[in-house]
Structure 1
């Protein structure tokens, strides 16, 4: 896709390209129900460009024709349109704060429901399962791990991850105040590791689209980290409203380091649990 030169011809090209992209997103929504129409334009444009190059499609109009007539092409394009960047105990200070400030609160409940929205390949879901086990909370907890992408959900449900990532994950775990040896939680087999089934038994994996789907339970904690940075203001407001409606009173909302409840319609309904981390408690 062209970036445009900035002159009249460049502006004309950029305008035509934007129309094509909007038509592609509308086609994907009307044909398959995936709604990317309110994603941040520059971000979705980049991802469509990556997908087109990988699929050897020269024009956005050509991609529209392909995805309308071939569901397999749509699934291939989705690999590039959905961002799946994650790691276990990412931002260790965040998870350390969660242990110190949120876990004591969770001990007061007879049952715990936690929603990982946009869970990707499941690294943060397993991080939560480990924390809950170490804190004696796992047996009374149910973790709901959802994502728009069925393929990453299958990967998350397998509990299998590349061996070469374990060194970084181990460091993250230690810095997050992990209580045991991280290797106790998985077994290695050649170039991959598989996490213990005991970590997976209370996790429910399901497809859920934050853009179009509704609330499906009441939760004590909702994790949605580094997902809304790809949404425009309209979609961010929609998702904030969904999370507010899905949290029980005094429930905790966990966001990514570049996300915030500031300027959302529910800003005054939360208090910050820790000034340096994006953890918020619902008060009203």
Structure 2
């Protein structure tokens, strides 16, 4: 007998679990510990955009059509970002963190979950203005290789530049923001000099290990999309990847409060989500 309508949401949950397990086993992308409510919304949107009747039909298409995987990754991963988003964070970084970084002969920064790269270029601009960029290496990683390609290009719609300029100035910018890009064909193309010390590379926070020791790790507005198990795994990864007294930067809606690592960091400026490892 077919299940009654009240049971249909439970069927969808099973379908999602099977879908994510199939994607992990066949392609190696692990979304099994992403926050379920956000995940369900995104998967339903993908099912609708593919004009499919069920989540199970999406699983079938995904496992037999690599082009569908690309669309799935774009729809599932969170790519909402901006340049100098939450400008007080960058102002605090400039005023409180940069003086600490000046004490290092060479500085490694990791932008984990960099999306299309706006925050990476924002940090490159900040470090250039502070005279530190020449002794920095910025590692920009994301699960989604399609958004990484966009990040490498450093090309963004010109209509965003007015907003980015305002955020740049609020973040303590010291020049004319237009110096950092050239305009053409409706786009802003950011200067090649900003890319010289940036390494773009795929990295899956859910499954991959640490790949270096860093002075700074920034992972802003990513952990909110993970469940508690995956959040703790990533917090362990970041702790293991930071040098002694290294800096961890999180998003405005994220925190180490009540996590197993709360006592291992001090918050540098309350509310800005910039933490310093204590050992």
TM range (shorter): over 0.9
Unmatched runs of 5 consecutive residues or more in structure 2: none
1:16-95 to 2 correspondences below 5 Å: 16-95=11-90
TM-score, normalisation: structure 1:
0.96
- 1:179 equivalent to 2:174? Answer yes
Shift of 1:222: 0.3
Task: Give runs of ≥4 in structure 1 deviating > 4 Å.
Answer: none
Report if the CA contact (8 A) 2:84-2:167 is conserved.
yes
TM-score, normalisation: structure 2:
0.98
Aligned to 1:227: 222
User: Residue 254 of structure 1 aligns to a residue in which SS?
Assistant: strand
Select the residue among 155, 161, 166 that pairs with 1:160.
Answer: 155
Unmatched runs of 5 consecutive residues or more in structure 1: 1-7
Shift of 1:10: 4.1
Shift of 1:254: 0.2
CA RMSD for the aligned pairs? 0.9
Query: CA deviation digits over 1:12-36, x for unaligned, max 9?
Result: 1111110001100101100101111
Query: CA deviation digits over 1:195-226, x for unaligned, max 9?
Result: 11110000000000000000000000000000
Select the residue among 247, 257, 263 that pairs with 1:262.
Answer: 257
Report if the CA contact (8 A) 2:217-2:249 is conserved.
yes
User: Residue 138 of structure 2 aligns to a residue in which SS?
Assistant: strand
Count of residue correspondences: 277
Separation of aligned partners in 1, 2:229 and 2:26: 22
Aligned to 1:133: 128
Aligned to 1:207: 202
Separation of aligned partners in 1, 2:67 and 2:258: 40
Shift of 1:276: 2.1
User: Residue 108 of structure 2 aligns to a residue in which SS?
Assistant: strand
User: Residue 80 of structure 1 aligns to a residue in which SS?
Assistant: helix
Query: CA deviation digits over 1:117-156, x for unaligned, max 9?
Result: 0000000000000000000000000000000011110100
Aligned to 1:3: none
Report if the CA contact (8 A) 2:252-2:271 is conserved.
no
Report if the CA contact (8 A) 1:52-1:77 is conserved.
no
Shift of 1:160: 0.7
Greater RCO (Cα-Cα under 8 Å, separation 6 or more): 2
Select the residue among 239, 245, 256 that pairs with 1:244.
Answer: 239
Report if the CA contact (8 A) 1:148-1:209 is conserved.
yes
User: Residue 63 of structure 2 aligns to a residue in which SS?
Assistant: helix
Separation of aligned partners in 2, 1:106 and 1:9: 61
